């Protein structure tokens, strides 16, 4: 076992790793990570899910917490999962009596075979072009499908998620991913097809569960999305959209949670590579969860905490 030099940047921490694992991580860091770190183009559809202030820092090329090889492996697994789900949509949802009469996933570039002999085709997604005010945005859809029920086209978006994200999707819908979908629906190409709906397909990575929800175009979401691009492209430093949260702990069955006297960075701030710039003065400590996973926590003393609350 050797010291994991990427641990300081992780949110799921292994302090030590086997030597062969380290070789894999070193390869990823050397060959793949630099491409992501140097990306300053935030006028992409996928960036619409991010905090505008985070995008502002990224557009300027400010240095943030680096993306770790472990996270890149996780992204790669998500990409493979999403390609696999596209296969099952094409095979299970297209044809007479099915949801779609036809689908378009882009240009087929190859294929690979998975267990039970399923041949999964790989596609290169075509560019879509959208204007958010005077800002030009490029996006890449997972696909579009023409419905048998009314002959209309809908946007198809595939997401793979952990257990919590999957459960939240079932209860609340696609959340910030709707911003990305609205950029795609408002593209010149999909406007010509009259696309006004997006169907999200979620894959629960740990169990294989699949769930889909249809969302309709919403002018309020589109207006907020346009504003996000405007803010991220402005010259002056944006205001901080997410405030720190008061930390609390369980105080016993039937009792209200008790404040600790600290304020903390919650989601999405705790995962932001520019957390130190946006919320300076936070202290980083490591805590073990119920599942044994070690994760960092970012806190500072709450100046408004009253002694009687202790």
Is the domain of 204 the same as that of 247?
no
In a domain, 58, yes or no: no
In a domain, 84, yes or no: yes
Q: Report how far residue 200's alpha carbon sits from residue 174's, in angstroms, rounded to the nearest whole number.
A: 7
* 196: helix, strand or coil: coil
In a domain, 183, yes or no: yes
Order the strands of the 210-216 sheet from edge to edge. 100-104, 143-147, 153-161, 197-204, 210-216
Query: By CB neighbour count within 10 A (0-12 exposed, 13-18 middle, 19+ buried), where does 291 fall?
Result: exposed
Residue with token string 């380290």: 22
Is the domain of 223 the same as that of 120?
yes
Is the domain of 228 the same as that of 250?
no
- DSSP class of 30: I
Q: What is the pLDDT of residues 254-279, one digit of tens each?
A: 888 888 889 999 989 998 999 999 99
Cβ density class 228-260: b for 16+ within 10 Å, e for less: bbebbbeeeebeeebebbbbeeeeeeeeeeebb
Is the domain of 266 the same as that of 180?
no
Mean pLDDT of the chain: 92
In whole angstroms, how far apart are CA 305 and each of 4, 71, 285? 37, 36, 20
Q: What is the mean pLDDT of residues 15-26?
A: 95
Among 233, 265, 280, which residue terminates a domain?
A: 233
Is the domain of 221 the same as that of 247?
no
Q: Report how far residue 240's alpha carbon sits from residue 259's, in angstroms, rounded to the nearest whole number.
A: 24
Is the domain of 136 the same as that of 215?
yes
Is the domain of 12 the same as that of 108?
no
CATH code of the domain containing 222: 3.90.320
Looking at residue 248, what is its pLDDT?
87
Is the domain of 103 the same as that of 174?
yes
In a domain, 254, yes or no: yes
* 147 Cβ contact list (under 8 Å, min separation 6): 99, 100, 101, 153, 154
In a domain, 63, yes or no: no
- Helix (H) / strand (E) element for 275: namely helix 275-278
Number of folded domains in the chain? 3
Torsion angle of C-alpha atoms 94, 99, 100, 105, degrees rounded to 10: -70
Residue 307: band (very low, low, confident or very high) from pLDDT cuts 50, 70, 90: low
This prediction has a pTM of 0.91
Task: With a cut of 90, say whether residue 12 has pLDDT above it.
Answer: no
Q: Report how far residue 131's alpha carbon sits from residue 137's, in angstroms, rounded to the nearest whole number.
A: 6
Is the domain of 77 the same as that of 172?
yes
Is the domain of 228 the same as that of 257?
no
The structure tokens listed for 195 are: 């696309």
In a domain, 258, yes or no: yes
Task: With a cut of 70, say whether residue 37 has pLDDT above it.
Answer: no
| Crossing angle of helices 219-233 and 177-185, rounded to 10° | 100
Is the domain of 84 the same as that of 210?
yes
In a domain, 54, yes or no: no
* 264: helix, strand or coil: strand
Residue bearing the bigger pLDDT, 65 or 117:
65
Is the domain of 123 the same as that of 30?
no
Among 183, 209, 233, which residue terminates a domain?
A: 233
Residue 34: band (very low, low, confident or very high) from pLDDT cuts 50, 70, 90: low
In a domain, 194, yes or no: yes
Q: Report how far residue 246's alpha carbon sits from residue 73's, in angstroms, rounded to the nearest whole number.
A: 33
Domain hosting 147: range is 69-233
In whole angstroms, how far apart are CA 288 and each of 12, 166, 285? 10, 23, 10
* 29: helix, strand or coil: helix
Residue 84: band (very low, low, confident or very high) from pLDDT cuts 50, 70, 90: very high
Q: What is the DSSP string of 32-93?
A: IIHHHHT-----BGGGGGS-HHHHHHHHHT---PPPPHHHHHHHHHHHHHHHHHHHHHHHHH
């Amino acid at each position: 076992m050797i010291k994991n030099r990427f641990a300081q940047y992780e949110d799921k921490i292994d302090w030590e790793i086997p030597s062969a694992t380290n070789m894999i991580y070193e390869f990823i860091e050397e060959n793949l990570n630099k491409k992501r770190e140097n990306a300053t183009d935030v006028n992409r559809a996928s960036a619409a899910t991010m905090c505008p202030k985070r995008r502002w820092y990224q557009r300027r090329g400010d240095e943030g917490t680096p993306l770790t090889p472990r996270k890149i492996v996780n992204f790669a697994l998500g990409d493979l999962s999403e390609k696999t789900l596209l296969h099952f949509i094409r095979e299970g949802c297209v044809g007479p009596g099915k949801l779609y009469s036809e689908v378009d996933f882009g240009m087929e570039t190859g294929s690979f075979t998975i267990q039970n002999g399923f041949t999964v085709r790989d596609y290169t997604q075509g560019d879509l072009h959208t204007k958010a005010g005077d800002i030009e945005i490029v996006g890449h859809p997972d696909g579009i499908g023409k419905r048998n029920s009314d002959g209309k086209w809908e946007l198809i978006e595939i997401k793979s998620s952990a257990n919590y994200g999957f459960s939240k999707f079932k209860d609340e819908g696609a959340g910030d991913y709707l911003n990305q979908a609205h950029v795609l629906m408002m593209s010149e190409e999909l406007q010509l097809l009259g696309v006004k709906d997006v169907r999200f397909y979620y894959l629960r990575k740990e169990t294989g569960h699949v769930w889909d929800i249809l969302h309709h175009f919403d002018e309020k979401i589109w207006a907020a999305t346009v504003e996000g691009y405007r803010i991220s492209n402005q010259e002056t430093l944006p205001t901080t959209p997410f405030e720190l949260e008061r930390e609390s702990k369980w105080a016993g069955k039937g009792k209200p949670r008790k404040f600790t006297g600290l304020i903390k960075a919650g989601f999405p701030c705790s995962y932001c590579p520019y957390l130190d710039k946006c919320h300076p003065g936070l202290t980083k400590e490591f805590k073990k969860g119920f599942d044994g996973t070690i994760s960092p926590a970012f806190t500072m003393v709450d100046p408004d905490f009253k002694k009687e609350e202790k």
